[in-house]
Amino acid sequence: MNFINKLNAAWSGNDSLLCVGLDPDLARLPAHLRDRPDGIVEFCKAIIDATADLACAFKPQIAYFAALGAERQLEAICSYLRAKYPHIPLILDAKRGDIGATAHQYAREAFDRYGADAVTVNPYMGFDSVEPYMEWEDRGVIVLCRTSNAGGSDLQFLDAGGQPLYQHVARLVAEKWNKNGQCALVVGATFPEELAQVRKIIGDMPLLVPGIGAQGGDIAATVNAGRTAAGTGMMINSSRAILYAAAQDGEDFAAAARRVALETRDAINQYRR
């Protein structure tokens, strides 16, 4: 099953557009896990088990693991997801962008080492830096388009032939780059008007939408701007608000994560029908 088929099945099977981000910050882990060599694995596995029936995707952010030298723990988490929840897409949030030969190695990292169903990439260096990921014809390539951070406007709003650069990127991906039919775009919830513009350009192509939860994006505005006619088309990511829902060393962290994930999934569903 390719990435898009798996995503469609997860949208339907879990009645969810919620993507759960896995960004393990060692300082915010429960005290009993911080000093354990497998603490990150145990934390993420508990979050996954608590939210798997509420999510359309899981998205580990590689920087949170690499900064701690915890790539082996990331491998273990990805293996756990593939073994226990193979029906839920695994997105490696890496935002890679480099020349073709190097991009091929990054693709091997994402798809062969970690077994990801999709990976986020940066289009700044053009199609030849993105094309190597498409050698894995069943895997998703999720291209940065209109990011959720304020500084994204420094470049993404530059004029590109009479349209903002982010719209040019959306057209390139939708009309030229999506050779395998497995592409998606990253568009932030913090900019619902731009989200609506991208949806008009790309049709039903999926969107990975960061920015709700800790970043403050409005759920109603996000869903109204980005959903498809079928009420799907989005992976709306929440990371910190779910991962760290429990009071520090207080409420059971997995139960708290499930509570917030359920609330978020249901809040999204209010506006997608």
In 3-state terms the chain splits into helix, strand, coil percentages (rounded to 5) of 50, 15, 35
Catalytic site residue from 95, 176, 179, 200: 95
HSE (side-chain half, CA atoms, 13 Å) at 150: 2
Q: Report how far residue 254's alpha carbon sits from residue 215's, in angstroms, rounded to the nearest whole number.
A: 21
Q: Are 71 and 65 in contact (CB under 8 A)?
A: yes
* Active-site residue, 59 included: no
Rounded to 5°, the CA angle 224-226-228 comes to 95
Q: Is 247 exposed, middle or buried (0-12, 13-18, 19+ CB in 10 A)?
A: exposed
- Centroid of chain to Cα 197: 20
Q: Are 118 and 142 in contact (CB under 8 A)?
A: yes
Q: Which two tokens stand for residue 47?
A: 């979050």
Query: DSSP characters for 105-137?
Result: HHHHIIIIIS--SEEEE--TT-GGGTGGGGGST
Active site residue ranges = 95
